[in-house]
Amino acid sequence: MNTTTKFVVGMAAAAAAGAIIGMLFAPEKGKDLQKKLANGTKDWLSELGSLIDMGKDAVAKAKSKSESTAEEIGAQLKEMSKN
């Protein structure tokens, strides 16, 4: 995992932990709290899935860019070695 991915995952986990702690300290009935936690968890997992997809897209773009850059550099080196 690169630094950006670690940061995004850390932020998502911190947000989820904060939301859960806030709900635990809220004065509500147990059933209501369980429903809120279940809904919050579903929302958080959905958001985490979206963040993971964004991370995968960013990695794919970076890989593509680095491959094309490597090809360009290789071509330039080949051309320079001819001279």
Tokens at residue 50, please? 């979206």
Q: Structural domain tally of the chain?
A: 1
Distances (CA, A) of 52 to 12, 26, 77: 11, 31, 37
Q: Give the range of the structural domain holding residue 75, as residue numbers without chain letter.
A: 3-82
**How high is the pLDDT of residue 66?**
92
User: How many residues can be counted in the chain?
Assistant: 83
Q: With a cut of 80, say whether residue 81 has pLDDT above it.
A: yes
For residue 52, give the nearest of 19, 23, 13, 79 by alpha carbon. Answer: 13
**How high is the pLDDT of residue 44?**
81
Helix, strand, coil shares, percent, the chain, to 5: 90, 0, 10
pLDDT in tens, 49-74: 888 888 888 899 999 999 999 999 98
Q: What is the pTM for the complete model shown?
A: 0.49
pLDDT in tens, 19-36: 778 777 777 677 877 787
Sign (positive or negative) of CA dihedral 46, 47, 51, 54 = positive
